[in-house]
A = this chain, B = another copy of it.
Amino acid sequence: MTVLINNKDLNFMLYQLFNAEELTQYSRYNEHDKNTFNSILETSYKIASEYFAPHNAKADHHEPTFDGQKVTTIPEVKEAWKHFSQAGLLCATQSYENGGMQLPVLINMASNALFMSANPASVAYPFLTSAAANVIDAFASDENKQTFLPHMLSGRFAGTMALTEPDVGSSLGDLKTRAIPQPDGTYLIKGQKMFISGGDQDITENIIHLVLARIQNAPQGVKGISLFIVPKFKTNQDGSIAETNDVQLAGLLHKMGYRGTTSTVLSFGENDQCQGFLIGEAGSGLKYMFKMMNEARVGVGLGAAMIGYRGYLESLEYAKNRPQGRLPSEKDPNSKPVNIIQHSDVKRMLLAQKAYVEGALALCLFAARLIDEHQAGSNQDSEILLDLITPIVKSFPSAYGPKANDLAIQVLGGAGYTREYPVEQCYRDNRLNPIHEGTFGIQSLDLLGRKLWQHNGKGLALLMQRFQKTLDETTVPEAKELAQIFSQHLATAQKTTKILGNAIFEAKVDQALANAALYLDMMGKVVISWLWLEMLNKAYLNFEQSQHQDDQNFLAGKLHAARYFIRWELPEIEHQAKLLTEFDNTCFNMQADYF
């Protein structure tokens, strides 16, 4: 059976690092305890390994096809969907009233992590459905909720988010899909959408698209955008399916990875028969969609972390069992070859993977805990902090997860480059993550151009408080040594932020944002270093006195990974800070004609 995660580490993160049991103090979660959490995670592990992992490679080799009439996916995808929805996982975080389990987002995130490791492409269908259901639950009219929501949560209908258009890409304000008001209060939808994941499939009876469109005569830009429910098939109030709703599949896109998830070009209203239902208020579409998008962004981060994690586990297993070569000091050709995990450079490649993927997973779980604190605990500070770090939660795993997969291939060498081993698929799958739900560049503008300065900079102040708390609690000498390095580079990051902020407010915004991608990478390294320090403190607290060898090994592993990240990677921000604070204009001044 495929190993999906280091369970000891997941337990450590949930119960020691993020104190999941504390969440049961919120009234929303007070019927839960550690037993119910663990029982849901066990169910998830079982379904993920029995129904998702086994066809991960097969769905990649046999990607969905479209014969002009109908999309066909391999039958295992539908079977997996069935087990996922029957276990109640589509509505795990929904209220009891909606038939859900009121599961904390933190535990749900851990459950999602298992599926992302097992089969990121097949689980995209249920994850998109849950996210779309959340938007409908939060903002749609009661009538629309009644029509669509129960069938999405039960697994009869799937959901998608339909934002991007062929000529628009990241620039949502320019989208052209139109919504023409009809006498009955519905809208006629007309336009084309592209890169819509799960936009067509043969898994569910119906597909509920959440479509961004511009109501006739709405203003240009983001303020003119509204959000609509657009089902593939018209749906009666009792949930039964009627005729087609004039949503045509124009074609499937053929991706390098994530092949098991259809990526579609959809035409809405080619025959002027496409009916849409406005969600909430006209002109607020982007605001509602961002609820789904922010959730999706954390989900992208989690996927990137877990595809990275899966590659790490595969390469670790290989390195432990593959004899080859000798240490440089061993000159006797008759000596026995060592397993490659003995080679320092292989240890480096494994340690870097461990530092990236465990750090990235911790970051996503941290975001989940903030969601719980905000949604179930009404903690506004947690919402503000979550808002600030969302670009980092999306981007750090998306940048370093693929790096981990690159290293996993390298550990396996020639074998890793073949489709006979699973790591090359991880590498291809993970390359999507720095692109969708806002590219790395878009996230960097969001962080440096917007998020930092909201609420008078309160998000950053809250983050700094968290850092300070961890520093104050660091007592073990091995951790203190790393805390000192962290403090020093943190000061650099703070100074850099201040200088860039001043420039933005002095209206040198193009120059100040020119190198924003460096800033996003820098802040990612700072936040992940903090999480490593926090993990190290908690690991000492829980395992230092343990007599069990596996506890001592676990602690030593955390120490070395923390050391690796803080000693090897974090100091790279000094040079980034230099370029940022000098407003280095090398890229800014480059001209198209010079290339």
Chain A residues in contact with chain B, CB under 8 A?
A: 164, 167-171, 173-174, 194-195, 219-223, 253-257, 263, 316, 320, 323-329, 333-334, 337, 339, 341-348, 350-351, 354, 402, 406, 409-410, 413-414, 416-420, 424, 427-428, 431-432, 434-436, 439-441, 444-445, 449, 507, 509-510, 513-517, 553-554, 556-557, 560, 563-564, 567-568, 571-572, 574-575, 578-579, 584, 586-595
Contact = CB atoms under 8 A, between A and B. Distances in A.
Given A254-B419, A256-B419, 7 more contacts: A171-B326, A174-B333, A223-B333, A253-B418, A328-B509, A329-B510, A341-B595
A270 to B, nearest CB: 22
A586 B572 contact: no
Given A417-B431, A427-B256, A348 B560 contact: no
Nearest to A344: B514
A100 to B, nearest CB: 33
A418 B514 CA distance: 28
Contact of A516 (B345, B428, B440): B345
Given A572-B572, A595-B350, A170 B590 contact: no
Given A344-B588, A413-B170, A595-B557, A256 B428 contact: yes
> What's the number of copies of this chain in the assembled complex?
2
A327 B510 contact: yes
Contacts of A568: 579, 584, 586
A418 B344 contact: no
Contacts of A327: 510
Nearest to A168: B324
14 contacts: A167-B323, A168-B324, A169-B325, A220-B333, A253-B420, A344-B510, A351-B587, A402-B406, A410-B435, A413-B435, A413-B439, A428-B428, A567-B579, A568-B586
Given A344-B510, A563-B586, A586-B567, A334 B220 contact: yes
Nearest to A169: B324
Residue from A170, A413, A444 having most chain B Cβ neighbours under 10 A: A413
Contact of A169 (B414, B417, B439, B556): B414
Contacts of A420: 253-254
Nearest to A516: B345
Contacts of A342: 592
Contacts of A424: 256, 431
Contact of A560 (B329, B514, B594): B594
A419 B589 CA distance: 33
A311 to B, nearest CB: 13
Contacts of A351: 586-587, 590
Residue from A346, A435, A572 having most chain B Cβ neighbours under 10 A: A435
A153 B339 CA distance: 42
Nearest to A504: B328
A316 B334 CA distance: 53
Contacts of A593: 553
A587 B416 contact: no
A515 B345 CA distance: 7
A515 B344 contact: yes
B432 A417 contact: yes
Contacts of A174: 324, 333, 337
A221 B333 contact: yes
A575 to B, nearest CB: 5
A439 B410 contact: yes
Contacts of A222: 333
Contacts of A350: 590, 595
B344 A587 contact: yes
A440 to B, nearest CB: 7
B579 A517 contact: no
Given A220-B333, A575-B575, A592-B341, A513 B170 contact: no
Contact of A343 (B441, B579, B584): B441
Contacts of A316: 595
B324 A591 contact: no
A66 B390 CA distance: 49
